Amino acid sequence: MLTLGAFDSSPLVVPMGNDLLVLALSARYHERMLYYAAMATLGSLIGCFVTDWISRKGEGGLKRLVPGRHLDFIRKQVKKRAGWTLVVVSLMPPPFPFTVFVAAAAAFRYPRSKLLSFIGMGRFARFAIEGALAIHYGRWIVQQAQSPLLDHVMIALIAISLVGSAISIFQWMQARPVPLPSPSA
């Protein structure tokens, strides 16, 4: 869960990986639900730390990856209410572009300790809610997990992850540094 969570919250693409794992494991092992939520959160924080570190080092890449009007919106959100924005985007399910908000907050020099704290709160709440839902709807989830259709869905998710990750890495490598305003400006 740690590794999957780290990949999921990094610039790489792993759509719904941790979500599905928390659902499946919580549905089967109810008593460990909080443990799974905590491990998924910790993995997500590791990935966010990597995203934060990359974004602080190569902040110009953000301007290339995000259209101007969206970047302006994100910049305003970081200035006004970064903490609550990070909590809300941490709660959002895929395909919401969570990593862009983490990268933006880091690129605009939002304090790392606050960034990780707010994301940790949001992610833990999200995974705990998913775990609770899995406990409630566990039998149905286990039946769906044993369906042959799931094999095809998982292959499709793996293919999307590989293609999306390759594109993401390519874009990050191609990004040219563009100076962003300092936090005091």
Residues 6+ apart with CB under 8 A from 17: 4, 7, 8, 157, 161
CB contact at 8 A, 177 and 60: yes
What percent of the chain clears pLDDT 90, i.e. is strictly above it? Answer: 18
**pLDDT attached to residue 60:** 58
**pLDDT attached to residue 41:** 93
Whether residue 182 is predicted with pLDDT greater than 80 in this model: the reply is no
pLDDT in tens, 106-157: 888 888 999 999 999 999 999 999 999 988 887 776 676 677 777 787 788 7
Whether residue 177 is predicted with pLDDT greater than 60 in this model: the reply is no
Which of 25, 7, 3 lies closest to 168 in space, CA to CA? Answer: 7
**pLDDT attached to residue 140:** 75
Q: In the chain, what are the domain boundaries?
A: 2-174
Question: Mean per-residue pLDDT for 6-35?
Answer: 79
Give the length of the chain.
Answer: 185
Residue 30 tokens read as 């109810």
**pLDDT attached to residue 185:** 46
Question: Mean per-residue pLDDT for 101-105?
Answer: 84
**pLDDT attached to residue 28:** 85
Global pTM reads 0.68
Task: Please tell me the number of Cα atoms within 13 Å of 107 on its side-chain side.
Answer: 27
Whether residue 39 is predicted with pLDDT greater than 90 in this model: the reply is yes
Question: Mean per-residue pLDDT for 53-78?
Answer: 69
DSSP per-residue string spanning 43-96: HHHHHHHHHHHHHHHSTHHHHHHS-HHHHHHHHHHHHHHHHHHHHHHHHPPTTS
Whether residue 71 is predicted with pLDDT greater than 60 in this model: the reply is yes
**pLDDT attached to residue 116:** 93
CB contact at 8 A, 21 and 4: yes
Residues 6+ apart with CB under 8 A from 116: 45, 48, 49, 52
* CA–CA separation, 34 and 44 (whole Å): 15
